[in-house]
Amino acid sequence: MNVAVIGTGYVGLVTGACFAEFGLRVTCVDTDADKIAGLNAGRVPIYEPRLDEFVRRNADAGRLRFVTDVREAVEPALVVFIAVPTPSGEQGTTDLSYVDDVARAIGECLYGYKVIVTKSTVPVLTAERVRQIVAASAAAAGRAEVPFSVCSNPEFLREGSAVDDFMRPDRVVIGAEDERAVEILKDLYKPLDRLEVPFVTTNVATAEMIKHASNAFLAAKITFVNEIANLCERVGADVHDVARAMGLDARIGRQFLHPGPGYGGSCFPKDTRSLVRFSQDLGVRQRVIEAVIEANEAQRERMLAKIDEMTGGVGGKTLAVLGLSFKPNTDDIRSSPAIDVVRGLQRRGAHVRAFDPQAMRNAAAELAEVSFCKDAYDAAQGSDALVLATEWSEFRGLDLRRIRAALLRPVVIDMRNVYDRSEMERLGFRYSGVGR
């Protein structure tokens, strides 16, 4: 089976490489000629564990190609995935201009039956919008009678473990209006049968809603534990013990109960705002998610207040910040709490020395007047305090005595609760975590 994937961002590139790993013939398309040239030369433009291995192996085997011409990819394909960016527009709207452009391009080269699949996270009813645009474009090209299906197959990929999530998913959701399309999409995922992966087959609107509801719930769970953590600090409770006991309740579960500076990344901030906005447009308020967004933004300010308090005011001081990506194992800084904290420190008059294992190149394009350092010890050297903003594994194994010697003052603000308070105090640090 030939598959086309339009868009080579996180979702598109992982989708294309993993389908090729299943043995399918995949052509990925992007309008960025430099990116395509790099991919054809074996250079993966994003950091994602195992992705470069998958891309190189399947490209060498002839199962994975990268092109700039939509027609070259779409004409031979039975299934076409739309995986282009859907950025936030004004007041939380979702900018669907890239999706619209792709739908028109598909319609222009619709010579035979195709299953067109939205993989990007889009507002509910976007598939119907795609269907109308494809139909109009095909009719304008004189192919009004060519049949096609439009489906939704949302992704549930976590950056930092996206390849593993694709190859061993919790579930596969297929939203379609006809059985032919359902069977074709199930055939794409046939290698997962041996893993007994659950398939949820439903109509298109429901599949679109599943994605938004899932992300909104996880964002709410993160925000809830942060609110509880803030209360724990006031009453002398330990949020880790609270979260652990909560998580032992099977109705609640342990995941996403880790306090910190709030959620970030390319999905949760955008998708929660989008859910609120398109719900309002349909006359249905999402009051819980509105409060989640507000509380998540306030959590950033709370972290800045904590740093201010621990340092006696950051104005004129030098702060070491470890971690810039929104989570470990990715170079993605979109809506990163760490980036917001750096900017907040700069607004208060601090100078920032920063280190991240993968995200410094991306951060350098967004942050001015930051000293980017070669490692954590270099960042700590001569700094008035250290802020741990992203919980990369290598930060868990730092030589803390060496860190203490490098700092002008032994102050650590641990926004991810990586370190043990008693151990830090035994080593002579003034230490502040979250909710402890």
Using an 8 Å Cβ cutoff, are 342 and 356 in contact?
Answer: no
Q: How far apart are CA 151 and CA 157, in angstroms?
A: 19
Q: How far apart are CA 115 and CA 102, in angstroms?
A: 14
DSSP string for residues in 363-432:
HHTT-SSEEE-SSHHHHHTT-SEEEE-S--HHHHT--HHHHHHHSSS-EEEETT--S-HHHHHHTT-EEE
Beta carbons within 8 Å of 315's beta carbon, 6+ residues apart = 348, 349, 350
Angle, alpha carbons 291-292-295 (nearest 5°): 85
Name the DSSP letter for residue 88: B
Beta carbons within 8 Å of 290's beta carbon, 6+ residues apart = 276
Paired tokens of 300: 């950033």
Q: Name the strands in the sheet holding 370-372, side by side, starting at the edge strand that comes first in the sequence.
A: 370-372, 351-355, 318-322, 385-388, 411-414, 430-432
Q: How far apart are CA 404 and CA 327, in angstroms?
A: 25
What φ, ψ does residue 6 adopt, rounded to 5°? -100, 115
3-state helix, strand, coil in the chain (%, to 5): 45, 15, 40
Name the DSSP letter for residue 177: S
Question: What region does 144 belong to: left with phi over 0, alpha with psi -120 to 50, or beta?
Answer: alpha
- Cβ neighbourhood burial of 122 (10 Å; 0-12, 13-18, 19+): buried
Residue numbers annotated as active site = 267
Identify the three-state secondary structure at position 9: coil
Q: How far apart are CA 135 and CA 142, in angstroms?
A: 11
